[in-house]
Amino acid sequence: MVNNSWGGDWTEQKLEAFVKYVNAYLTILNHNKTKYNWETIYFDGFAGSGERGQKDETFRADLFFSATNEEENLYQSAAERILSLEQLFDWYYFIDLNKNAIEQLQSRLSGINNIEPKRLQFRSGDCNKFLLELADIMKTSNKYAALVLLDPFGMQINWKSIEKLKNTRTDLWILVPTGVIVNRLLDREGKLLHLEKLISFFGLTEQEIREEFYHTFRHSTLFEDEIEVTSKVDKPINKIINLYIRRLKEIFTYVTKSPLVLRNSKNVPLFHFAFASNNQTGLKIAKDIIGKDNG
């Protein structure tokens, strides 16, 4: 018997907010489907990881540290809930790096809501690769409208993948590991642990990252020598999400200013669940949902 470790109250908070949005999204798009002749796509980039069981080494390698059970409990798949909705997408793409996890997911999802098997696509591999493919497809035809869910526990999403979604009919929900991982890589003394990961995550250079999160000043010692001192900015978690939101606004027209905050029992923010789109109505719906859930 596998020792289950995933899922929890905060996971419910994230999933409930997302499912509320999906319902509103599908109601609007399906109502106008005949008029605009578009096809809807649901893309879940980390679908298999919601299995409440043993996690593989490829997943653990991205954490850089030993996360607590409480932090891990924030993470669970949305796949079953989305497929069970009354309103349906035309196409579903479920992606996961772990081949075994995606095969198990396919077995679990088969038969739900009597959806035709050909409309359900399961792929194992790097989510970034499939995001680039999705973006290319959407740019070659304007008949597609996609809702993309990216909720990794870690920093697996490269900024270059997000950039490719620019000028597409995409609504994006992304889980940003602000406190649980990113803040821990920003060393107090400016060492920038796993620098290559920070660069790919933010899409910024090392110098740009340092300018965002550190202050450097000269300090006179007791012996009148001057030394250079580096200090981390105050409220770094707020700084992290504000920077990520600012970056999203370079790609999408409408982005939530105040994402849904997921906190631990000590009220420390671990994740921020952010929304981005090129559709103003989508932003209004997301803000209404997030506002209620943040309250």
Residue 256 to residue 245: CA distance in whole angstroms: 8
Determine how many CB atoms are found less than 10 A away from the CB of residue 277: 23
Contacts of 108 (CB under 8 A, 6+ apart): 79, 80
Contacts of 101 (CB under 8 A, 6+ apart): 48, 49, 51, 56, 124
Residue 206 to residue 208: CA distance in whole angstroms: 5
Looking at the domain assignment, is residue 135 inside a domain?
yes
What CATH number does the domain containing 85 carry? 3.40.50
Looking at the domain assignment, is residue 290 inside a domain?
yes
Give the length of the chain.
295
Looking at the domain assignment, is residue 112 inside a domain?
yes
* pTM of the predicted protein model: 0.87
Residue 54 to residue 155: CA distance in whole angstroms: 20
Alpha helix (H) residue ranges in 46-98: 57-60, 69-72, 79-83
> What's residue 217's pLDDT?
77
Looking at the domain assignment, is residue 247 inside a domain?
yes
Residue 269 to residue 182: CA distance in whole angstroms: 12
Looking at the domain assignment, is residue 211 inside a domain?
no
Integer Rg of the chain from CA = 20
The structural domain count of the chain equals 1
Looking at the domain assignment, is residue 39 inside a domain?
yes
Looking at the domain assignment, is residue 21 inside a domain?
yes
Nearest CA among 123, 113, 121 for reference residue 26: 113
Cα separations (Å) of 131 from 128, 159, 179, 261?
5, 11, 25, 25
Judged by DSSP in three states, 61 sits in coil
In a structure prediction context, what are the per-residue pLDDT tens digits for the chain, which is 295 residues long? 223 233 346 678 888 999 999 999 999 999 999 888 999 999 999 998 654 333 433 334 344 444 555 554 444 468 999 999 999 999 999 999 999 999 999 999 988 999 999 999 999 999 999 999 999 999 999 999 999 999 988 999 999 999 999 999 999 999 999 999 999 999 998 889 999 999 999 999 999 999 999 998 776 666 666 777 889 999 999 999 999 999 999 999 999 999 999 988 888 899 999 999 999 999 999 999 998 666 4
Q: What residue numbers bound the domain in which 126 lies?
A: 9-188+235-294
Looking at the domain assignment, is residue 201 inside a domain?
no
Torsion of CA 236, 7, 76, 116, to 10 degrees: -160
